[in-house]
Amino acid sequence: MEEHQSKLANFSLPLLVSNFASVFGDGVYRFGLNWFLVASYGNAEILGMLTGFGFVVYVINDIFVGSILDRFNRKRVLLAADLLGALGALGLSFLINPDKPQIWILFVLTFILNVDVSYSYPATRSILPDVIKKKSLAGFNAWASASFSTGQALGPLVGGLLLHFDWIDLRTFLQILGMMHL
């Protein structure tokens, strides 16, 4: 056990940045999607349906995430979740009509991104003991929580800033989001 602990790190910047980037990208997406939907359709009805659908997808995945993380390599689950989010956003960005977004694409995108979030955050937290020394775990958890909160705060802020650029439409916005997931 002690030999295993000696191989672990006191701190992991890639793990911390991955945690931040996932939450940050989710915040950018949610703010941007809200903006584009209300601008495109003139009301928030579709936004409400997508939000409710996303919640159901998240809750259903939350039921299974623990057993999946126990059965499979947690690092690979994390990478697969974020890769799914990146490829989903990038792939669907080429199909979407930026002037009048197709509802089915928005539901598929909401599904993909909620699956990503429902696996990436628990996977990140569950691999901490495999990466961080036991004596440093509490301190790193504090950093991870601060990173999570900072991502939640800055994501919508940057999403709002991006929307002020005239050259960014929904397609470009999704492409930026997909690149942020990589």
What's the rounded Cα separation, in Å, for the pair 182 and 180? 5
Give the pLDDT of residue 100: 86
Give the pLDDT of residue 150: 95
Contact in structure between 52 and 177 (CB atoms under 8 Å): no
Digit-coded pLDDT (tens) for 13-26: 888 887 788 788 88
Neighbours of 104 (CB within 10 A): 9
Q: CATH class for domain 2-181? A: mainly alpha
Q: What is the 8-class DSSP label of residue 50?
A: H
Half-sphere exposure of 39 toward its Cβ, with a 13 Å CA cutoff?
12
Digit-coded pLDDT (tens) for 169-181: 889 889 988 888 7
What's the rounded Cα separation, in Å, for the pair 148 and 122? 12
Contact in structure between 9 and 134 (CB atoms under 8 Å): no
Digit-coded pLDDT (tens) for 82-133: 899 999 999 999 999 988 899 999 999 999 999 998 998 899 889 888 889 9
Residue appearing with tokens 């990146």: 86
Domain boundaries, the chain: 2-181
Query: At a CB cut-off of 8 Å and minimum separation 6, what does 125 contact?
Result: 144
